[in-house]
Chains A and B, each alone.
Chain A
Amino acid sequence: MSIAAPMRAGARDLAHVAGAFGLGVVLLSAFLAIAGFHVAPALSALWNGAFGSWDNFTSAALVRATPLVILGLAFTLGSKAGTLNIGMEGQFAAGAIGTTWAGLHLGGVPPVLAVAVALAGGLIAGAAWVALPVILRMKLGVSEVITTLLLNFVGVAAVSYAVTGPLQEPSRIYPQSALIAPAARLPHLAAGSRLHLGFIFAIIIAGLLSLLLKQTAWGFRIRSVGAGPRAALIIGRMPVATIAATALLWSGALAGFGGAVEVTGVSYALYQNLSPGYGFTAIAVALLGRLQPTFVLVAGVLFGALEAGAAAMQRDAGIPAVAVQVVEAVVIITVLLTARRRA
C-alpha cells in the first residue's frame, strides 16, 4: 500500500462504507420484520443508543469503541508485518488479569504511578501471552494463526480460574475479583460521563502508529517484511523473521494493553465475559479500516456506536443484541468485496 493511495481513495471508500451500512440496516429491518418485531421503534432505539444524545455517544459508543480501536490497531500492526494475530481475545484476557493483579496491590501508591504500573502489567501480560506463538513461529515455523487462536481459549479459561481462585474477591461468593485500588483507575474525561482517559490513549496510539509506520525506518522495515518478504531479505537485507516476530510481539502487547484499559477505565475488576468478543470484532474493525491506523480509529468508533445501539435496542425494544451482527456482517462482507474487486 502506497502512502498516498489511501488518501486518494478515501472519498470512494467512505461512500462504500456508508452504502454498506445502509444495506446492513435494510437487511436488519427485514430480518426484524420477519421475526415479528416492530421495526421503527427498534431502529429508533438503535440510533438513540448510539447517537441519541452527547452522553449516549460518549458514555456508551466511545466507551465501547475504545477497546475495539486499541485491538484493531494491534491487529493492524501485526498484519503490516505479514502476521495474523487472531489471538487478541486471549491477549486481552491476559492483559486484564495482569492489570487486575497489579491493581489489587497498588493501595497507597500515588495515582499517576499506580495507573502506569497497572497499565504496564497489562502490556507485559499481553506480550507474555503472545510470546509462545512468537517463539514457535521463529524456531519451528509454526503458523501464528493456529497458536494465537488456540491460546484464546486458554486465556478465557485463565480468567475463569483467576476469578474463582487466586484473584477471587475476599468473600469468595462471586466469580470476580475485588475492585482495584482507586489510584490505579483511569480518570473520566468529564464529570458524570463514563468516557475515560483510555479513549485518548486510543487516539494517541493511532496517531503514533501511523507516524511510526510511515515516517520511521522501524515502520518501513515492518511494512517491507509484510508486503514483500523476499525483497526485504534480498534487497533490504533485513532479518525478516525477527522483524515479523517483533511486530507480532508488539501486537500482543497492545492487545494486552486493551485489556488493561478496559479494567482500569470501565470494570475496575476482573470477571468472566469481560470482553463480548472484542478480540474478534476488532479484526473486522481493522479490515474495515483497511489496516490504516487513522481509518481504524474511525471504523472502531462506528462499530462502538453499533454495539452501543445494539445494547439500547435490547434494553428498550427487547430485541437480542446479536441482531446487530447482521449489520456488522453486511458491512464487513461488502467492504471486503469492494476492496477485492479493486485489487
Chain B
Amino acid sequence: MLHEISKSFGATVALSRVSLSVVAGQVHALLGENGAGKSTLMHVAYGMLRPDAGTVTVSAAGGIATTTHGFPSPRAARAAGIGMVHQHFTSIPALTVCENIALTAGWTETGRAAERRAESVVGRLGLPLRVSDYVESLSVQLRQRLEIVKALAANARILLLDEPTAVLAPREVDELLTFVREFALGGGAVVLITHKLDEVFRVADRVTVMRRGEVTLRDVIAKQTPQSLSRAMIGADLPPPIRLEARTGDVLVRASGLRLQRRGVAANRAGIEGADFSVRAGEVVGVAAIEGNGQRELLRAIASVDDIAITTGSLDVAGPVGFIPEDRTTEGLIPQFTLAENLLLGTIARSTRWLAWPALRARTGELLRAHDVRASGPDAAAATLSGGNQQKFVFARALAGKPRVVVAEDPTRGLDLRATQVIHERLRDAARQGAAVIVHSSDLDEVLALADRVLVVARGQVRELPRDTPRDVVGDTMLALESVA
C-alpha cells in the first residue's frame, strides 16, 4: 500500500524509504517512539502530506489506484476508501453529530434527509449517539467514536487509527478494540498506532515497528514478544522496573472530610465531594481517574494553584509544593520565552525588583546539564525543545525548589518510552529523597506501575484501593460501575 515513502522537513529526515502493506481483513499495528515517523507516515497515506518520493497504492474492487506522489488531499484519500481517526479530535463542537458526519463524508443532503442517513450509519454500529446532539455535549469516548463514524460514513475500507486509546478508560478500550476486530473481520483493513504493547497483542495480526524514520521490524504478531517489540522501538531492552519498598516518614498531606470546587463554576460541576486520605514523605501515591471526575481540582488544591475553593473539611499541606501541570505548553511553560525566562517564571514570586539575568542564565545552564535537558542553551526558546526535553525542564524547575510535596498531572502524556522512563525515574528519585509524590496519569497502567498506593477519583469521590487490587477492578472503580465500600 505504501511503498518506499521518503519525507524530509528541512534538514530533518522524517521518513526514509518506508514501506507498509496492509491487507484486507487484518489489523496492522504500527509502533514506535514519538518522533519515529508513525504519524507522518499516516499523514502521507491520508493525503495530508505529499511525500518527497514513493508511491501510495490502494487496490479496490473496481481496480487499483496508484499515486506516485501520494494523494493530493484528504478528500482524494477518502474517495479511495481511506479513513483516518486523528490523535486529536477533528469534529466541530458547535455543530451536531449529523452535521459533522455530513461534512466529512461530503454528503449533499441536508436537514432531515441527512439526519436519516446519519442515523442509519450510527445504528449500524449500535452506538448511543443521537445525531441531533451537539458535539460539545458528548463525552470523550463518544467524541472518539464519532471520529470513527465519520470515517465509515465516507465508506472507508481502510481505517488509520492514530493512538485512539490514549484518552479511554480500560472498559472503553475493550469496546474499541472489539470494534476494530469486527471491522477487520468484515473485510476492512486497520492500521492501529499505539504506545501500549498489550493492545497490540490483543488485537493485531501483523506489526511494523519504526524508529527514527525507518522500519526496524516487520512481522506477524504471533512470532513476537513484548521484549522483542520494545527492543525494536528503542533499540535496547527496557530495564525491569525497580520498586523499592517505600520507607515512609511524616504525613505531609492530609485531607479530612474535604469538599472542594473550582471557584465561579456552577454548583454541580466537577469537584471533590468527600476525601479522607493522607500522603507521607517518601511515598508515591497514584491518582487514577478519567478526565473530569474532580482529580484535577483535587491535585490543584493540594498544589494551591488555580482557583479552587474548599467548601468544607480541611486540607493540610506541608510546603513547599512542586507542581507539574498537565499542559506543558500553556501552563508549564511560556513557549516563546527563553529557558532562563521560564526558570524565572517559577521563582518570580521571590524575585528581587531588578532581575539578575547573568545569574539566572548560569543557573539555567546548570539545570540543563544536571537534568540532561537537550537544548542549545539558556537562551533557547522553550518552543524549540522536544516534548520530552520540555517536560524534563519543567521537572528540573519544580525540583530545584526542593519541594517537600510533588504534584504531577499526567506527566508523561505524549512522551515516548525513553522520556517516560526518565520522568518516572525523576518521580521515584523525588520520593526517595523524602518528598511526598502525588501523580495522576490518564494511563492506568502507568499509575499502577509507579504508585506505592492508589487513590481512585470517580464522580468526586476519592477511594483508596489496596495495592494488589486487580487492574480490572481499579478500572471499574474509575468508571464508578460498582461501589467498593
B331 touches A231 (CB 8 A): yes
Option from B305, B335, B341, B346 in Cβ contact (under 8 Å) with A220 = B341
Number of interface residues of B (CB under 8 A): 29
Option from A2, A4, A236 in Cβ contact (under 8 Å) with B345 = A236
Q: Convert B315-346 into 0s and 1s, putting 1 for each residue whose CB lies closer than 8 angstroms to a CB of A.
A: 00000000101010011111111100100111
B331 touches A235 (CB 8 A): yes
Option from A4, A216, A236 in Cβ contact (under 8 Å) with B354 = A216
Pick from A99-107, A221-229, A304-312, A324-332 the stretch touching chain B: A221-229
Interface size class of A (residues with CB under 8 A): 20 to 34
Which B residues are in CB contact (< 8 Å) with A3? 338, 341, 379
B245 part of interface (Cβ distance < 8 Å): no
**Interface hits, A1-39 → B, CB 8 Å:** 1-5
Bound together, the chains give a CA A238 to CA B346 distance in angstroms of: 10
Which B residues are in CB contact (< 8 Å) with A220? 341, 344, 348, 351, 355
23 contacts between A and B (CB under 8 A): A2-B338, A2-B379, A4-B338, A4-B379, A217-B348, A217-B352, A221-B348, A224-B337, A228-B334, A230-B330, A231-B334, A231-B345, A234-B305, A234-B325, A235-B331, A235-B332, A235-B346, A236-B345, A236-B348, A236-B349, A237-B305, A237-B348, A237-B349
B338 touches A234 (CB 8 A): no
Closest residue to B379 on the A side, CB-wise?
A4
Bound together, the chains give a CA A5 to CA B483 distance in angstroms of: 57
B306 touches A234 (CB 8 A): yes
Given contacts A231-B333, A234-B306, A234-B325, 4 further A-B contacts (CB under 8 A): A2-B379, A4-B338, A232-B345, A237-B305
B337 touches A228 (CB 8 A): yes
Which B residues are in CB contact (< 8 Å) with A232? 334, 345
Bound together, the chains give a CA A3 to CA B349 distance in angstroms of: 21
Which B residues are in CB contact (< 8 Å) with A234? 305-306, 323, 325, 331-332
Q: How far is the CB of A314 from chain B (nearest CB, A)?
A: 43
B349 touches A231 (CB 8 A): no
Bound together, the chains give a CA A235 to CA B341 distance in angstroms of: 12
Give chain A's interface secondary structure class.
Answer: helix
Closest residue to A219 on the B side, CB-wise?
B355
Which A residues are in CB contact (< 8 Å) with B349? 236-237
Q: How far is the CB of B142 from chain A (nearest CB, A)?
A: 27
Which B residues are in CB contact (< 8 Å) with A214? 355
Which A residues are in CB contact (< 8 Å) with B305? 233-234, 237
- Sorted nearest first, the 6 A-B pairs with minimum C-beta distance are A228-B334, A234-B331, A217-B351, A230-B331, A2-B338, A230-B330
Which B residues are in CB contact (< 8 Å) with A273? none
Which A residues are in CB contact (< 8 Å) with B306? 233-234
